Structure 1
């Protein structure tokens, strides 16, 4: 048991990359890990942080303090998965050592995300951030460039963005050039970049990975949904080529050709979630049923508006407005009623 633990934080799991299994607990194992890291991470700030943590440990030990050193790591995938794994390793260390407080050593803003996790379980007695000054010589710049290039190629969370997106742009641009549709190269590039920003911004890639690991049904639904979205884009491109006339007419025609597939894509995703919840006997499946109904309603309203635009009608007709109001009121009422049932009777069903 130790009163204080020195924690080196490696949230992107560089330890795992070089074959060191975490958590690393104790003077002997930490020394072995540093020795192994010196062979491949000697120029990396992570290595300097390991040495810094070890030096702090030796200094406090020499002063007679009750102290132990540990290395904990997250995941190369980053995000919530990295934080979750680091949290699990921290719990393992706490159960094993029963410390009263901790001194945290880290080197990057990404590692800094671990501090609130540690603080929620232990009193933090000190924080040491290691900042390694980079020289401006050609050789040092080359080493630094090589380090980040290796990260881009080997670590999934970087390779998706820096290799996957440019790769998709080159592939689509080449395909359009072969088919003689070079005028669509620029819009396609913007669409790919925008799609990548949406996917990363809303963490759709992490959600898809969780679906892949936890639910076969959601994987199938996601694949069908993606195929439907691709068809919608292709359909929109060919419609844009064929339709002539005023700008508003062209836009409405393109959108009309795309929204059935977009609506189908969303419905498939929500239906997959309904089936998954039904299998798990989750009463919250009604949330996704409401979403399906909302998508269907939105589709019919948008389709009606776009058809009106094609005919030169620029305002909502009374029938459309009436149907929209009734449907909206029905959905809201259904949501309130189902929310009431879940809140007051959900516990009875679960018990």
Structure 2
């Protein structure tokens, strides 16, 4: 029975700091790799992990066991990309070593990500965690925090509510003060009182951007836009129209705030929210239309995601508009009446149901197509060994 002692470096410190190409198979390769990383960064936890794996390898070898050691590394971009690299290297190592069992040696930081990857491919006898003795509590706390920040689900779960609360508090704090500032012609005391609201709004927006990696997505979108301009993409006119509508929404909302100096703060808030809602909805719809047309012309296929997202967006917009109109009705502001509000709610729910129905039909069609393809594949008969 052959045993593989496996060490895992998920964030590729060996490549990033020591400039080495993984995987490392065998005692000599692992010893050279850990010496190179130790010379660059002696405090790196991966140094302790590989040294512990080497010690276990020597101990099992003295007992006469059939044992091999290997280290696999991921990628600097921890997440899907690093796990994909780890999976590829793991399969290569298993193909070369052909072990019956694996002993996983790790620093305990990200076992829940690494263990299923290994366990799904080969039997794991045990997992040994290597802690730095000088500060195990600090080490554990540090990795818990880092793990939370790197995990998309946990980051969204923690920072999204906090960001939304700060954004809403800052927004509702600034709107009445901003209206008062417009009416009193730049009173310095009002400007000073807006500081906490501005801090809350900026911090809330920053946390939302951090939770959903919006800065990275905007950067990727800009790069795709530049590539599209160079390649003559059909999506460019729709993207430009979307940007114009987005900015026009802000302009019209600002114009509404500055022109109407007699209405209350709540009335102006509802009015500007309605303006922004529909201008931004049509901006997003224009962008999705461009994606739909570009995908169809490029691949000859209907991009169902754009269709479903657009319908769902209009459903949400009608329901939000109904809530704005309901608020104006309750507070006695000029409104469209109960009949229009009822129609907005009904249209919103009908569009939402229609979007869900399309989504279910597409999933059913995909499952049917998959089962038909599997039925056409005849099982292969292999001779017994």
Q: Deviation per CA, 1:212-242, whole angstroms, max 9, x where unpaired?
A: 8999669978999789768867876786677
> Max radius of gyration: which structure?
2
Could you say if the C-alpha distance between residues 338 and 113 of structure 1 is closer, same or farther in structure 2, counting changes exceeding 3 Å?
closer
In the aligned structure 2, how far is the partner of 1:114 from the partner of 1:325?
48
In the aligned structure 1, how far is the partner of 2:282 from the partner of 2:241?
9
- The reply to whether residue 72 of structure 1 matches residue 94 of structure 2 is no
Cα shift at 1:189: 3.8
SS in 2 for 1:121: coil
Q: TM-score, normalising length from structure 2?
A: 0.64
Q: Deviation per CA, 1:37-89, whole angstroms, max 9, x where unpaired?
A: 12022122221111101111111122211111111112222122222221121
Q: 1:49-128 alignment to 2 at 5 Å?
A: 49-128=49-128
Cα shift at 1:99: 1.4
Could you say if the C-alpha distance between residues 254 and 127 of structure 1 is closer, same or farther in structure 2, counting changes exceeding 3 Å?
same
Instruction: Look up the match of 1:198.
Output: 208
Could you say if the C-alpha distance between residues 257 and 330 of structure 1 is closer, same or farther in structure 2, counting changes exceeding 3 Å?
closer
* Structure 1 unaligned blocks of 5 or more: 158-178
Q: 1:328-343 alignment to 2 at 5 Å?
A: 328-329=349-350, 332-333=353-354, 335-336=356-357, 339-340=360-361, 343=364
Q: Deviation per CA, 1:182-211, whole angstroms, max 9, x where unpaired?
A: 655544443443334334444656767887
More off after superposition, 312-321 vs 217-226: 217-226
Give RMSD over aligned pairs.
4.4
Instruction: Look up the match of 2:168.
Output: none
SS in 2 for 1:296: helix
Could you say if the C-alpha distance between residues 127 and 314 of structure 1 is closer, same or farther in structure 2, counting changes exceeding 3 Å?
farther
Contact 2:38–2:44 (CA under 8 A) maintained in structure 1: no
Contact 1:9–1:111 (CA under 8 A) maintained in structure 2: no
In the aligned structure 2, how far is the partner of 1:56 from the partner of 1:328?
62
Q: Deviation per CA, 1:263-310, whole angstroms, max 9, x where unpaired?
A: 245335534553465334555x22421321332354355446546729
More off after superposition, 186-195 vs 113-122: 186-195
In the aligned structure 1, how far is the partner of 2:81 from the partner of 2:87?
10
* Structure 2 unaligned blocks of 5 or more: 153-185, 374-385
Could you say if the C-alpha distance between residues 331 and 305 of structure 1 is closer, same or farther in structure 2, counting changes exceeding 3 Å?
closer
Could you say if the C-alpha distance between residues 288 and 23 of structure 1 is closer, same or farther in structure 2, counting changes exceeding 3 Å?
same
Cα shift at 1:132: 0.7
In the aligned structure 2, how far is the partner of 1:120 from the partner of 1:287?
32
In the aligned structure 2, how far is the partner of 1:58 from the partner of 1:254?
72
Could you say if the C-alpha distance between residues 195 and 240 of structure 1 is closer, same or farther in structure 2, counting changes exceeding 3 Å?
same
Q: TM-score, normalising length from structure 1?
A: 0.70
- The reply to whether residue 321 of structure 1 matches residue 342 of structure 2 is yes
Instruction: Look up the match of 2:333.
Output: 312
Could you say if the C-alpha distance between residues 268 and 183 of structure 1 is closer, same or farther in structure 2, counting changes exceeding 3 Å?
farther
Aligned residues: 313
In the aligned structure 1, how far is the partner of 2:194 from the partner of 2:245?
20
In the aligned structure 2, how far is the partner of 1:183 from the partner of 1:240?
19
Q: Deviation per CA, 1:145-165, whole angstroms, max 9, x where unpaired?
A: xx99xx9xxx9x9xxxxxxxx
- The reply to whether residue 37 of structure 1 matches residue 46 of structure 2 is no
- The reply to whether residue 291 of structure 1 matches residue 309 of structure 2 is yes
In the aligned structure 1, how far is the partner of 2:61 from the partner of 2:133?
28
SS in 1 for 2:125: strand
- The reply to whether residue 24 of structure 1 matches residue 34 of structure 2 is no
Structure 2 residue corresponding to 1:255, chosen from 263, 273, 288:
273
In the aligned structure 2, how far is the partner of 1:41 from the partner of 1:252?
57
- The reply to whether residue 347 of structure 1 matches residue 369 of structure 2 is yes
Could you say if the C-alpha distance between residues 319 and 265 of structure 1 is closer, same or farther in structure 2, counting changes exceeding 3 Å?
closer
